[in-house]
Amino acid sequence: MDQALRNLVSLGIPLADVSNRLSRFPADYLGLEDRGRIARGAWADLVVRDREHALTATYVEGESIVEYA
């Protein structure tokens, strides 16, 4: 998914659209309304990236599990 994000962004697709393509749309396709989005009642699994799209933090169920230097 990391490389998919980089590839889609490099094609000029806006980051918000890329995020939906890699999270919300697959979750919706699978009927998982509590996944693939940041919303009350949804699973809080997410990654944080900097402007160059390098990972800076990872959260699972709302708890920070990794912070990158």
> 2-19, pLDDT tens digit by residue?
899 999 999 999 999 999
Angstrom CA distances, 28 to 6, 23, 24, 36, stand at 22, 9, 6, 8
Distance CA 57, CA 68 (A): 6
pLDDT tens profile 33-48: 999 998 888 988 889 9
Token readout for 69 is 């230097």
pTM for the model? 0.75
- Which two tokens mark 38? 């940041």
- HSE of 64, CA atoms in CB hemisphere, 13 A: 7
